[in-house]
Structure 1
Amino acid sequence: MEEQRITQLEQELEALKLRVAQLEQLHPVPHPTSTPEQSTVATPKKRPAFVKKDDTFSPKIKQIRTRDEWEHMIATIWLPRIAAIFAAIGAIFLFSYASISGWVNPAVRVGSGVLIGLLLIGVGEYQYEKKRRELGVGLVATGTIVSLAALFAGMALYQFYSPGLAFSLELVILFITFGLMLWMASRVLLILVSITGFLLPFLQLADEANVSLFLLYEVILFAALFYAAVRLKTILGFVVSWGFLTIALVTAMSMVGFSPPSTSDEISLLAASLVSYIGTAFTGQRLRMKWNYPSYGAGLIVIASLAVIDWQWGTLIALALAGLAYSIANYSKDAWHNAVGHATVFYAITQIPYDILRLSEQFETLLFACILIGLWFVKRQHMPYQRMIALALYVYFIFDQITQSGMYAAMNDSFRLSVVALVLATSGLIYLLVQQHRAMVEDGTFQISLVVAAVGVLTTYTLLVMELPFYDGLDETNRSTTLSVAYILLALLLVTIGRIRNLSVWRLSGLLLLSVSAIKLLVFDLSFLTLVQKAFVFIGFAIVAFIISRTYFKKRKNN
């Protein structure tokens, strides 16, 4: 009974399903349109533009390569490079053996070498299209080297064609490699083109070098390489190219310097150096280099080129170069180009024809002192560490003037202008210490600046006393006495200034100078001064010491 009942219920259920299906076909049920629910969450406010975003980020963790990754890198990257090198060496050995055995004549050797090189370049391009990048680059590099070596052998060993034709054919190979380098975006090929392109002029074995043509070729070549470095965004390729360009310019400078003067060669050298400086500055800016040291080096190469040329009015060209460096600094926002401009200005004052202008050579020291003062106080065209660099130049200036004063004294000539220049530079340094005292204390350069200023004051004062009209007429004993008295008076003057302005720097300088004077009296003057001179100098020293000490006792009593 129960089974019959279940069967009947199933039949009724199937009948109901059929009836429902028929009704849906006659009257389809419309689907209700869904209305989007309004969110109760408030929309976040727009972040103000002036709110500084949080730049904190988690440090990158260098992942250690697995064994499979090492295997893949060696097999796909390093192995093709090694294979390319060994293939090139093997090809050279094969041709050497074939030539020794007499299997092929020289023409076949050269032609087959060029064809094999081109075939390797084509296979490398095909491998690159098949997504085998490193293998393709290695084959192209190998083919380039083999083709260039074969062309060089045909010119140098067998004289099949002239050096000019060989150079043209080599340029064709180099141009093909350059195009593939841009297409493959390969830094390795860029470096290869830099090396081989630089060496091509030296492989022509010419008896007389054409400096102008050599520089024109090198400038065009490396301009193209700088463009490629910007396009590939490779700083290493740019630096390598600049290095070989610098070697080319230095080579040209040696050829110009050791050969008879040629105006065309000198103009070509100067123009190539200027193009190199402008090109490296522009390329470094496009590559967003923080320190564009190739450009700074190129600026120094321009100065060296001016020194090699040594034109009579080279100072005008040097000043024009300084203006160019300042313009590049303003355009690129790189303050180190101001350093190139400052160095060029210093070089310019050494190239002034003082004899033609009927000026004393000591006028150069006066200009040097004025530029030093400008470095300390002029705010425009400021370079990094300018104050300390100017301080180092001041130290050099002091020792140079000490040497020059000895030379002028040996020739019984006056060095009055040099002393005036020293007085100007030393006065500028003292004013700098007073004006920028707080800034120097904050950056920790005040102590060393004070020591340099003390040495400068002592040197300047000594040379000033030695330049007095009556000093030349004195003997050695009276000269030493005069210097001792001058040091004592200067110490009293420094302490007096310090007491009036209430500055410990001046007082301390005076006390130190007084101590130096005491040592000089006891060690040097005591042995050869006369009794009258000893009494005069030592009593004068004691009086000054008592006066200075008295001022300190008054100060302590008032406090």
Structure 2
Amino acid sequence: MVQEGKERRYLEKDQEFLELEKRIASLEQEVTRLKEMFHEKEAIHQPIKNMAPPPPASSGETQHKSSLSWESLAPEPEETDWEHLIGRIWLPRIFIVVLLLGVIWAFKVSIDKGLITEPVRVLLGFFASGAFLWLGDKQVKQQRHALGQVLLGGAVCLTMLTTFAMHALYDFIPALPAFLLNVVWIAGGMYLAYRYRSEALAILASLAGCLVPFLVESQEPSAWLFVGYEVVLYGGFLYFALHRQYIMLYLSSSTLLQAAFAAYAIGTLGDIDILAAGSVAQYAILLTCFLAHRSYTHSQTGVLFACFLLTLLWIHGGYDTTSVQWFLLSGFLLHGFLAIYFWKRNTKTAGTFLTVASFSLAFYFTHTIDNQPLIHLVILLEATAAFYAGIRLHSRLLTGSAVVLYLFGSLSALDYSIEQVISTETALWLGLVITFYSNIKVAQAHITPSNPNIFTVLYTVHTALMLLFLTRETNALAENLSFDMKHLAVSFVWVLYAVIAVLYGMIKKDARSRLFGVILIFVTLLKVIFIDLPNVSLLFRAILFIVLGGIGIAISRLFYTGYKDKKQNTISE
């Protein structure tokens, strides 16, 4: 066996040397061709003074010389090799399925006619898988990698199906030997993936490994055994993915573990707490790998964040409120500490941990605070701080998660009306308008959007929120007043807000604020005409129009004075 192994390695090395020699010879020919074309180009551009005119060239030579240009020296764009794509890649993948279907149907006919007994079926299954393994190895050695990998993957699947038939269909072996055999087949699949450097075989082995517990029948299934097997298997595949830098295996194995947990929960309708513990273990493995080996940060960050959210769902469904609170608080403290540690060392990593910490803290507030308006106010403040930190760290994940948290808090705030002037609802609305405006200012100072009109839209939304807040606060303040006085108070507050906006624009020389103030005066006029006039008495109509008209003229005078001063300054300059 040792001698055969040495001979095989020698043969593989000889094949590698032959391929290297072929590639070198091909490169030498390409360099020679380019040199000849370059010399021909120089000959064409040599000066022809004091030289007799050359004899007329034949049409073929003229056409050949005229076709030479610097563009001809550039590499031609590679065309799609459809023959290689179809004949060597897709053809074996498709027709291996066709072959398997034919074998299955022939197998079915033989069984129906009593030609193949149950032991013979098992032997044929293992024999066929061995044949696939031999053929696949042979095809890979002959540089037919696509066909060889398909055959090797078919061998792994066929051994597992045969083992399943031995155990579940024919009762030849009990559950434990069937489980151990399947583990051996998975280890064999991993060895094939390692030997032939095939990520596809590794993904197939991970899929088969997740399915092993579902292929074994047990009278008393153990949730701890299931979770322990799946987590250990996942840790092995994750290590292999990081070692080989197989990003698709990294993503698929993480997804398959959660899918296996979900399938077990649906099938048993219980043991959610054990599955939640398994999800916590998966997150701990992902976090350790992220801290120790950041080969592809974007993918690892996405998987880590998604696993954290799924773990929260599992814990919420499997444990009581106190346990959930402790988990969320621990998650916030852990990731907050990691964010502080990486703040100066790696800003993107710090942004990732701050994202997890912000969600942990937000969910912790929802589980510990009984006052709903206060919960949303705290989330608004936390989201504002996270948004600022995300912009400082240039972390899209943290900025995006802060926006999501802010939308959750702000949209919930819109449902709360203000019954009393001093209340948590008032604090919530005040926090909404202040944080919304501060977030616009932060974004305007640090972000350059593709469409600059987005800030105009955001300022318009802020103005609408401010009007809604002032209206609700005024109605709460004027609760004991008459109907006419309520309309008069709301319109007066709107006009006052418009005057403040215009004065602020005048002082700060902010054209946007001045424009918003003028537009708000016209909006107030429309409100008075279409809403207030039909419902108030003649006396209050007169008061409304006198106040509104006087304020409009006064603001117009301010614009006139400002324009006159600006013109005089221009003339003096």
Q: Under TM normalisation by the shorter chain, which class is it? A: 0.7 to 0.9
Name the structure 2 match of 1:177. 189
What is residue 544 of structure 1 aligned with on the other side?
Answer: 551
Q: Equivalences for 1:355-394 in 2 at 5 Å? A: 360-378=371-389, 381-384=393-396, 394=406
Counterpart CA distance in 2 for 1:413 and 1:539 is 31
Q: CA RMSD in A?
A: 3.8
Residue 123 of structure 2 is aligned to residue 111 of structure 1: yes
Residue 22 of structure 1 is matched in structure 2 by none
Paired position in structure 1 for 2:518: 511
Is this contact kept in 1: 2:386–2:398, CA < 8 A?
yes
1:403 aligned counterpart, secondary structure:
coil
Q: Count the aligned residue pairs.
A: 488
Q: Is the 8 A contact 2:380 2:410 kept in 1?
A: no
* C-alpha contact 2:308 2:356 (8 A) present in aligned 1: no
Matched with 1:235 is: 247
Contact 1:419 1:464 in 2 (8 A): no
Q: 1:449 aligns with which of 446, 455, 468?
A: 455
Shift of 1:123: 4.3
- Please tell me the residue identity of whatever aligns with 2:539: V
TM-score (norm 2): 0.73
Deviates more, 1:500-509 or 1:142-151: 500-509
Matched-pair identity in %: 20
- Residue 171 of structure 2 aligns to a residue whose secondary structure is coil
The amino acid of 1:266's aligned partner reads A
Cα distance in 1, alignment partners of residues 297 and 364 from structure 2? 35
User: Hey, what's the Cα distance between the residues in 1 that align with 2:94 and 2:445?
Assistant: 61
**In 1, Cα distance between the equivalents of 2:170 and 2:453?**
72
Q: Deviations over 1:72-122 (max 9, x none)?
A: 665554454445434433333333223222223212322331243234324
1:481-492 counterparts in 2 under 5 A? 481-492=488-499
Q: Is the 8 A contact 2:231 2:278 kept in 1?
A: no
Query: Aligned match of 1:479 in 486, 499, 503?
Result: 486
Which residue in the other structure is 1:34 paired with?
A: none
CA distance change for structure 1 residues 279 and 331 in 2, over 3 Å: closer, same or farther? farther
Do the aligned residues in 2 keep the contact of 1:115 with 1:147 (CA within 8 Å)?
no
1:214 pairs, out of 194, 206, 226, with 226
CA distances 1:363-402 after superposition (whole Å, capped 9, x unpaired): 2122122213313444655522866875675555443212
Relative to structure 2, which stretch is displaced further, 386-395 or 447-456?
386-395
Aligned match of 1:417: 424
Determine if the alignment matches structure 1 residue 319 to structure 2 residue 332: yes
Rate the CA distance shift 1:422–1:212 in 2: closer, same or farther, 3 A.
farther
Query: How far did 1:296 drift?
Result: 4.1
Cα drift, residue 539 of structure 1:
1.7
Contact 2:275 2:314 in 1 (8 A): no
CA shift for structure 1 position 540:
1.5
Q: State the alpha-carbon separation in 1 of the partners of residues 399 and 414 from structure 2.
A: 23
CA 1:361–1:99 in structure 2 vs 1: closer, same or farther (change >3 Å)? Answer: same
Could you say which residue in structure 2 is the equivalent of 1:305? 314
SS of the equivalent of 2:365 reads: coil
The answer to whether the 8 A contact 2:332-2:360 is kept is: no
What is the rounded CA distance, in whole Å, between the counterparts of 2:74 and 2:481 in structure 1? 74
Partner of 1:17: none
Partners of 1:118 and 1:144 within 8 A in 2 = no
What SS does the aligned partner of 2:116 have? coil
CA contact (8 A) 1:281 1:292 kept: no
SS of alignment partner, residue 352 of structure 1: helix
Offset of residue 534 of structure 1: 1.9
Q: Relative to structure 1, is the Cα distance of residues 521 and 282 closer, same or farther in structure 2, using a 3 angstrom cutoff?
A: farther
> In 2, are the aligned partners of 1:369 and 1:422 still within 8 Å (CA)?
no
Helix, strand or coil for the counterpart of 2:478?
Answer: coil
2: CA distance, partners of 1:132 / 1:493: 77
Whose helix proportion is higher, 1 or 2?
2
CA drift of 1:260 comes to 6.5
What's 1:348 paired with? 361
1:293-338 per-position Cα deviation (integer Å, ceiling 9, x unaligned): 4444334333433443464214313414643774797699473873
C-alpha spacing 1:275/1:372, structure 2 compared with 1 (3 Å): same
Unmatched runs of 5 consecutive residues or more in structure 1: 1-57
Correspondence for 1:270: 280
Give the distance between the partners of 1:78 and 1:150, measured in 2 at CA. Answer: 27
Distance 1:331 1:96 in 2: 66
Query: What's 1:147 paired with?
Result: 159
AA of the residue aligned to 1:298 = C
Asked if the contact 2:373/2:425 (under 8 Å) is kept, the reply is yes
Question: Do 1:373 and 1:428's aligned partners in 2 also have CA atoms closer than 8 Å?
Answer: yes
Residue pairs, 1:40-79, within 5 angstroms = 62-64=77-79, 71=83, 76-79=88-91
The 8 Å contact of residues 88 and 147 in structure 2, kept in 1 or not, is answered as yes
Structure 1 443/400 Cα, relative in aligned 2: closer, same or farther at 3 Å? same
TM-superposition CA deviations, 1:483-523 (whole Å, max 9, x none): 22111111111111222222223212212222221221122
Task: Give the Cα separation in 2 of the matches to 1:60 and 1:429.
Answer: 55
- The alpha-carbon distance between structure 1 residues 134 and 374, as it changes in their structure 2 partners (threshold 3 A), is closer
CA contact (8 A) 2:238 2:253 kept: yes
Quote the Cα distance in structure 2 between the aligned partners of 1:238 and 1:350: 28
TM-score (norm 1): 0.74
Instruction: Please give the alpha-carbon distance, in whole angstroms, between the structure 1 residues aligned to 2:159 and 2:399.
Output: 56
Query: 2:530 matched to 1:523?
Result: yes
Match of 1:161, SS state, is coil
Paired AA for residue 226 in structure 1: L
CA-CA distance at 1:456 after TM superposition: 2.8
1:550–1:132 distance in 2 versus 1, CA, 3 Å: closer
Gaps (5+ residues) in structure 2? 1-72, 568-573
Indicate how the Cα distance of structure 1 residues 528 and 209 shifts in structure 2: closer, same or farther if over 3 A, else same: farther
User: How many angstroms apart in 2 are the aligned matches of 1:512 and 1:146?
Assistant: 74
Q: CA deviation at 1:172?
A: 1.0
| Counterpart residue number, 2:502 | 495
> Per the alignment, do residues 195 and 397 of structure 1 end up closer, same or farther by CA in structure 2, a change over 3 Å counting?
same
In structure 2, do the counterparts of structure 1 residues 389 and 266 end up closer, same or farther at CA, with 3 Å as the change threshold? closer
**How far apart are the structure 1 equivalents of 2:388 and 2:298?**
29
Range with greater deviation from structure 2 (524-533 or 294-303): 294-303
Cα distance in 2 for partners of 1:204, 1:414 equals 66
Cα deviation, residue 528, structure 1: 0.9
CA deviation map 1:119-143 (0-9, x unaligned): 4324433554455544432332222
Cα distance between partner residues in 2 of 1:387 and 1:418? 27
| Structure number, greater radius of gyration | 1
SS at match of 2:454: helix
Distance 2:222 2:74 in 1: 55
Amino acid at match of 1:317: S
1:475 to 1:387, Cα distance in 2 relative to 1, 3 A: farther
Change (3 A) 1:153 1:139: same
Quickly say closer, same or farther: Cα 1:339–1:157, change in 2 above 3 A. Answer: same
Selected match of 1:399 from 388, 406, 411: 411
